[in-house]
């Protein structure tokens, strides 16, 4: 099998040249201020209004951070800064729609680019399903408290939840004998956002700027109202579950930082992308971090952290101190915040599909540009349909963890991509560079702390060997040793007054890899299996369609007849086994193995036929 074809890269010059084709050109209208507001609009949303509470309080599956949620926010922000700097370097150098997908195509190869493009669906489209469902809940709260009315339960509840409540099923109409249960507000808001995005990105940016202004004012109101009610005793104990609680809290509230990378998806619609994209990415992350630290400090100061394990912790905190009017206003702010998140994520996902289609990995129709609005209307509409359909019927309780691991994986590949491109193409002009500061003391401290902990043999509560923690320590020690090597080479070259190799200047990127892996380790094991299942399904699509239609392929490779017969059977078998074996762990392991085997067979048979 010729594996080299899977890792073929597309040069930066070719990517830029193809994006400038008239039929694939987007309208450039955005400024640095628009991009910063897009980033803030994407970041401040469901995370700060919902996940901050469960991260502080914890649950049966993971410990809570307690008042140390403040430290969790700071650590997560540091991890995001490393990745944000790498995104800024790539976006300034390759100002093309597609974000991490495009960067991976230029550095790590086509198959990795496909995997990261498929992975980003988790962050944008699937993540938006959860946001739409949450938006519907808050919208109904506003109707109930402000207008003393509410929609019927069968119009605001997902199907899976409703089937557990006989009252909702009985109240719903039954056309053809089946209960009609649909989350109508979630569908309506997704349809509205989709329409706004189709008519023009500038109009969408103005709409977003208004929403961002409103939610910043409301979060400022929360800090102003709650500050006088902060009690010192609520900060004791500061970290009730120690370092484990802080790590678990950081892994959950990472959901609050997702979105700053969406700025890079609008690169082809920015007037001066080489300057404005880095400003938008770093500026939005800085603004959001300051807001998060302030909000979290006030939150855990006015109410005991043990009472925050609910869906609306900020509103409950205001009610706790008797400010019900402020709690009502805050609910309105949550609706506004989630609307902005929906807008920016719905803007990002179609542009990734657009780039993948332009490269031939998806059907050509996905790269169609609207003749009047100059927007990728086909992919925008299909993304809207996908999100609206699942938001209408689905209940995705685990979506935060799945979204987090998918996004962290994308961040890891972007950081690795910066290191690879610095090594293979050091002379390329980079309008923005990830700063170089030797991190030798940090790498040394990591080794000094982790090696004794590894030698002690981490164990679970029941006394069994904790293989997951051992794997984490080994990976982190390996990254730290590589960091020591880079620092030593750079410092030696500096002392000799010789040129420092470019890869030695990428310690921030390596720190981004380490911090993202540390956050991923804080997620439950089942989330890792679900993520592997998603990647396995994406790899099947790539081997059956993408690799044969890629523009880097010399002529279309037809699908072997036997593969056309085997593929549907393997997919059906995987689905059946998953259904039969659940909730056993093997319900995911066996189908994943079948999908990976199908991918390998598809690659082998396609390349054999071409030869």
Higher confidence at residue 532 or residue 587? Answer: 532
pLDDT tens per residue, range 87-139: 888 877 777 666 678 777 877 788 888 888 888 887 778 778 878 877 887 78
Query: Is residue 223 a contact partner of residue 318, using CB atoms and an 8 Å limit?
Result: no
According to the model, what pLDDT value does residue 513 have?
92
Q: What is the spatial distance between Cα 495 and Cα 536, in angstroms, rounded to a whole number?
A: 48
pLDDT of residue 516: 87
pLDDT greater than 90 at residue 481: yes
**Residues linked to residue 270 through DSSP beta bridges, in sequence order:** 30
d(CA 359, CA 9): 12
Q: Which fold has domain 3-420?
A: Amino acid/polyamine transporter I (1.20.1740)
Predicted pLDDT at 274: 74
pLDDT of residue 163: 72
pLDDT band at 448 (very low <50, low <70, confident <90, very high): very high
pLDDT digits (tens, 9 = 90+) for 307-338: 877 667 887 788 888 887 777 788 787 787 78
Q: Quick one: average pLDDT of 36-50?
A: 75
Domain range annotation of the chain = 3-420, 433-610
Closest residue by Cα to residue 201 from 338, 376, 386: 376
- As a whole number of angstroms, the distance between CA 277 and CA 267 comes to 7
**66-96 pLDDT per residue, tens:** 888 888 888 888 888 888 888 888 877 777 6
For the chain, how big is the Rg over CA atoms in Å?
A: 24
CA geometry: angle at 51 spanning 46 and 55, to 5°? 165
Per-residue pLDDT at 485: 93
- For residues 484 and 447, the answer to whether their CB atoms sit within 8 Å is yes
d(CA 393, CA 390): 5
Q: Using the predicted structure, report yes or no on whether residue 153 has a pLDDT greater than 70.
A: yes
Q: Using CA atoms, how far apart are residues 541 and 115, in angstroms rounded to an integer?
A: 10
In the predicted model, what is the mean pLDDT of the chain?
80
CA pair distance 96, 103, nearest whole angstrom? 9
pLDDT band with cut points at 50, 70 and 90 for residue 4? low
Which residues have CB under 8 Å from 116's CB, separation 6+?
A: 100, 101, 104, 409, 410, 413
What pLDDT, on the 0 to 100 scale, is given for residue 393?
A: 72
pLDDT band at residue 142 under the 50/70/90 scheme = confident
Q: DSSP 3-state assignment of 439?
A: coil
pLDDT, tens digit, 9 for 90 and up, residues 538-563: 899 888 888 888 887 766 667 777 87
What's the pLDDT score for residue 22?
47
- Of the pLDDT bands very low, low, confident and very high (cuts 50, 70, 90), residue 483 is very high
More confident residue, 578 or 298: 298
- Which of residues 143 and 223 earns the better pLDDT score? 223
CB 131 within 8 A of CB 391: no
In this prediction, what percent of the chain has a pLDDT beyond 90? 4
The mean pLDDT value for 504-528 works out to: 85
Question: Which tokens sit at 367?
Answer: 């790269």
């Amino acid at each position: 099998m010729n594996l080299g074809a899977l890792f073929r890269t597309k040069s930066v010059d070719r990517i830029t040249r193809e994006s400038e084709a008239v039929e694939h050109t987007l309208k450039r209208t955005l400024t640095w201020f628009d991009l910063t507001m897009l980033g803030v609009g994407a970041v401040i949303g469901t995370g700060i209004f919902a996940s901050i509470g469960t991260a502080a309080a914890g649950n049966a599956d993971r410990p809570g951070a307690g008042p140390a949620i403040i430290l969790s926010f700071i650590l997560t922000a540091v991890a995001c800064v490393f990745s944000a700097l790498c995104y800024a370097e790539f976006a300034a150098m390759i100002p093309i729609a597609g974000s991490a997908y495009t960067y991976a195509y230029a550095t790590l190869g086509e198959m990795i680019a496909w995997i990261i493009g498929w992975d980003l669906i988790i962050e944008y489209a699937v993540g938006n399903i959860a946001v739409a469902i949450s938006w519907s809940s808050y919208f109904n709260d506003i109707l109930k408290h402000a207008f003393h009315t509410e929609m019927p339960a069968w119009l605001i509840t997902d199907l899976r939840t409703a089937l557990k409540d006989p009252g909702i099923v009985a109240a719903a109409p039954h056309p053809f004998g089946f209960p009609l249960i649909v989350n109508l507000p979630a569908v309506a808001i997704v349809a509205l956002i989709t329409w706004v995005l189709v008519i023009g990105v500038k109009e969408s940016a103005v709409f977003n700027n208004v929403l961002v202004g409103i939610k910043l004012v409301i979060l400022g109101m929360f800090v102003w109202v709650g500050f006088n009610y902060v009690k010192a005793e609520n900060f004791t104990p500061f970290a009730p579950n120690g370092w484990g609680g802080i790590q678990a809290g950081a892994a959950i509230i990472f959901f609050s930082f997702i979105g700053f990378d969406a700025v890079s998806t609008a690169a082809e619609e920015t007037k001066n992308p080489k300057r404005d994209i880095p400003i938008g990415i770093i500026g939005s992350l800085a603004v959001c971090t300051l807001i998060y630290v302030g909000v979290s400090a006030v939150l855990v100061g006015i109410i005991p952290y043990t009472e925050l394990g609910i869906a609306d912790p900020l509103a409950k905190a205001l009610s706790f101190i008797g400010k019900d009017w402020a709690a009502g206003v805050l609910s309105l702010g949550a609706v506004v915040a989630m609307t902005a998140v929906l807008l920016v994520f719905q803007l990002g996902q179609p542009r990734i599909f657009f780039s993948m289609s332009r490269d031939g990995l998806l059907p050509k129709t996905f790269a169609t540009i609207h003749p009047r609005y100059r927007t990728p209307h086909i992919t925008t509409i299909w993304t809207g349909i996908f999100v609206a359909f699942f938001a209408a019927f689905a209940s995705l309780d685990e979506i935060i963890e799945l979204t987090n691991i998918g996004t962290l994986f994308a961040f890891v590949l972007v950081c690795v991509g910066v290191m690879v491109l610095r090594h293979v193409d050091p002379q390329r002009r980079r309008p923005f560079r990830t700063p170089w500061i030797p991190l030798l003391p940090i790498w040394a401290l990591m080794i000094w702390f982790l090696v004794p902990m590894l030698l002690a043999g981490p164990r679970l509560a029941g006394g069994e060997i904790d293989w997951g923690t051992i794997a984490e320590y080994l990976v982190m020690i390996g990254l730290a040793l590589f960091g020591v090597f880079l620092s030593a080479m750079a410092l030696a070259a500096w002392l000799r007054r010789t040129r420092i190799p470019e890869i030695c200047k990428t310690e921030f990127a390596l720190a981004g890899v380490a911090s993202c892996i540390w956050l991923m380790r804080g997620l439950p094991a089942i989330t890792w299996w679900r993520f592997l299942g998603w990647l396995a399904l994406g790899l099947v699509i790539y081997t059956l369609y993408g690799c044969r239609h890629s523009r880097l392929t010399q002529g279309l490779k037809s699908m072997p007849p036997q593969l056309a017969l085997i593929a549907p059977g393997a997919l059906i078998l995987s689905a059946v086994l998953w259904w039969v074996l659940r909730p056993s762990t093997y319900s995911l392991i066996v189908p994943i193995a079948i999908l990976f085997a199908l991918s390998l067979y598809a690659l082998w048979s396609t390349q054999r036929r071409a030869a």
